[in-house]
Amino acid sequence: MLNSSYNNSTNNVTIDFFQLNITSFQAQIYPNLGKTSLLGYNGMSPGPTFRIQRGVQSVIRVVNHNDQPAVLHLHGSNTRAVWDGWAEDLIQPGQYKDYYFPNSNTARTLWYHDHASMITSVNLFSGLAGFYIIEDAEVETQLGLPQDQYDIPLALNSKQYTSAGNLTSVAGETSSLYGDIIEVNGQPWPFLSVEPRKYRFRILNTALSRTFVLSILDNSSGKVLPLQVVASDSGFMNATVTTTTLTVAMAERWEVIIDFSGYEDRNLTLMNERNVFDSIDFQETDLVMQFNVASAVSSNINNNSPPSSLVSRDSPSPGTFIHRTFNFDKQNDEWVINGVPFTDVKNRVLAAPQRGATEIWVLENHNSYWSHPIHIHMVDFQIMSRSNGRNTVESYEKAALKDVAVLGPKETVTIAVTFAPFEGLYMFHCHNAIHEDHAMMDAFNITAIQG
Ligand code: C2O
Ligand code: CU
């Protein structure tokens, strides 16, 4: 990735400059099949992983060498609306756009991906996604979590190929594509050699339609290992939460500490549950990847348990909040929010919260079959309650701020959202990218504080 810095002499601020070229390329994903045509950033899928220090500003120039329009969205970032990847703000083939990011969020795992109107699912399935990590040296040194080679991003995916080795076409799908091939960082069912010590994994679900429910199994003893969840979509949680199963819906990020000590010379399998929401299972969709534990540790630096309390943060201040209800449903073969598809330009701005205000949003899914991971651009929110369906807020959700909340079949999820830091028009949508492309997306307009 091209990387240069330039000095803005008026403010004496350094802004890091990067360039991402969208190109198609061929990769040998399967040993026995033909090569697969993919789309990538700088010839890679997933694209290059950014690690940016909090507060260091960046500009990313995205050059579109593909024959279809593209849009870049930095998911979870505090970004001004003009650079937030509005779905109709297309980079046409042969053009480029410069995106500016202040990187003012607290330390967290963001990801960048395509957001082009009606073809997000096609571009995403073809490979246009990557990690963008905001680091905060001060906070992270204090927490002493595993770092460097012990801090590993894992992008989960679920793909489907033709017998010739190409990806199946997404273009004709109107509801979901689950895929029978589970991939991590672009490789089907990979293995990772690890040392018998603690690791920090940043788990992200980049699949179109498949939600994962993960656990780690020691094949020889049948024992399930604890996952210590330390961070969510919105960075460090207020407390470490230990769990044995972790639900990761599309676009969600969960960071876990896994301790491989005591498992010297063994193989552990990252497993996926069957029958998760509407996901359709295939022969090996219950397997994700394998960890091959070595016999010895080469470094004990930051080989610590996470502290039980991580970061403190303000909870929404008491007050009378505006309540809004949004119903995610299917109407006349279109996926809609409160009956409004994204194509309904006149009516698609569904809310105008004041900048800085906290509101209570009730997200409803009355359907008894479909699930919808709902993402609201720019903001962090707290999940307050979930009724019907699973009827519970998971222990790790309670300790987290989020930018995605998954609505299982029939579920209603109530969230407290603070609309900050910027004014402007932003999208919210289902992150089943096929539902999103078929109009389950609308907008809200953050308005000036009324004096
Ligand atoms: Cu992950 Cu609107 O995006
Ligand atoms: Cu959906």
Q: Which atom of ligand 1 is nearest to the CA of 377?
A: 2
Ligand 2 mean position, distance from CA 372 (Å): 4
Q: How far is it, in rounded angstroms, from Cα 428 to Cα 168?
A: 28
pLDDT at 286: 98
320 burial (CB, 10 Å; 0-12 / 13-18 / 19+) is: exposed
- Give the residue extent of every domain in the chain: 2-135, 143-293, 322-446
Ligand 1 mean position, distance from CA 51 (Å): 20
| CA-closest candidate to residue 53, choices 12, 103, 11 | 103
User: Does the pLDDT value for residue 34 go beyond 70?
Assistant: yes
pLDDT at 320: 83
Any residues with CB less than 8 A from the CB of 376 and at least 6 apart, and which?
361, 403, 417, 426, 428, 444
pLDDT at 4: 58
User: Does the pLDDT value for residue 10 go beyond 80?
Assistant: no
CA angle (254, 257, 262) in 5-degree steps? 145
- Find out whether the beta carbon of 427 lies less than 6 Å from any atom of ligand 1: yes
Cis, peptide link before residue 421, omega less than 30° from 0: yes
Q: How far is it, in rounded angstroms, from Cα 176 to Cα 158?
A: 12
- Find out whether the beta carbon of 115 lies less than 6 Å from any atom of ligand 1: yes
* Coil/strand/helix, residue 204: strand
Ligand 1 mean position, distance from CA 440 (Å): 12
pLDDT at 26: 96
Establish whether domains 2-135 and 322-446 are of one fold. Answer: yes
In angstroms and rounded to an integer, the radius of gyration of the C-alpha atoms of the chain is: 21
In this structure, are residues 394 and 411 in contact, taking their beta carbons and an 8 Å threshold? no
Q: How far is it, in rounded angstroms, from Cα 169 to Cα 360?
A: 39
Q: Quote the CATH superfamily of domain 2-135.
A: Cupredoxins -  blue copper proteins (2.60.40.420)
Q: Whose CA is nearest to atom 1 of ligand 1?
A: 75
Q: Which atom of ligand 1 is nearest to the CA of 251?
A: 1
Ligand 2 mean position, distance from CA 303 (Å): 40
Tell me the pLDDT of the chain averaged across its residues. Answer: 95
Ligand 1 mean position, distance from CA 291 (Å): 30
pLDDT at 32: 84
pLDDT at 333: 85
Q: How far is it, in rounded angstroms, from Cα 76 to Cα 444?
A: 16
CATH code: domain 322-446 is 2.60.40.420
Instruction: Give the pair of three-digit tokens for residue 149.
Output: 């080679």
Handedness of CA 91, 95, 101, 105 (dihedral sign): positive
User: Does the pLDDT value for residue 8 go beyond 70?
Assistant: no
User: Does the pLDDT value for residue 2 go beyond 80?
Assistant: no
- Give the count of alpha carbons within 13 A of 209, CB side only: 24
Ligand 2 mean position, distance from CA 251 (Å): 12
Which ligand is located closest to the Cα atom of residue 379? 1
Query: What is the identity of the amino acid at 277?
Result: F
Ligand 1 mean position, distance from CA 73 (Å): 7
Which ligand is located closest to the Cα atom of residue 404? 1
DSSP code for 81: G
Q: Please give the average per-residue pLDDT across 428-446, as a whole number.
A: 98
- Find out whether the beta carbon of 377 lies less than 6 Å from any atom of ligand 1: yes
User: Does the pLDDT value for residue 315 go beyond 80?
Assistant: no
Q: Quote the CATH superfamily of domain 143-293.
A: Cupredoxins -  blue copper proteins (2.60.40.420)
Which ligand is located closest to the Cα atom of residue 75? 1
For residue 109, give the H/E element and its range: strand 108-114
Q: Which atom of ligand 1 is nearest to the CA of 441?
A: 2
Q: Phi/psi of residue 190, each to 5°?
A: -75, 170
| CA-closest candidate to residue 371, choices 210, 203, 174 | 210
Residues in a beta bridge with 228: 242, 257
Q: Which atom of ligand 1 is nearest to the CA of 75?
A: 1
Instruction: Give the pair of three-digit tokens for residue 139.
Output: 């906070």
User: Does the pLDDT value for residue 316 go beyond 70?
Assistant: no
- Find out whether the beta carbon of 348 lies less than 6 Å from any atom of ligand 1: no
Q: Which atom of ligand 1 is nearest to the CA of 111?
A: 1
- Find out whether the beta carbon of 110 lies less than 6 Å from any atom of ligand 1: no
Distance of CA 129 to the CA centre of its chain: 10
User: Does the pLDDT value for residue 423 go beyond 60?
Assistant: yes
Lowest average pLDDT, out of 89-93, 137-141, 265-269, goes to 137-141
Residue that wins the pLDDT comparison between 9 and 339: 339
User: Does the pLDDT value for residue 314 go beyond 80?
Assistant: no
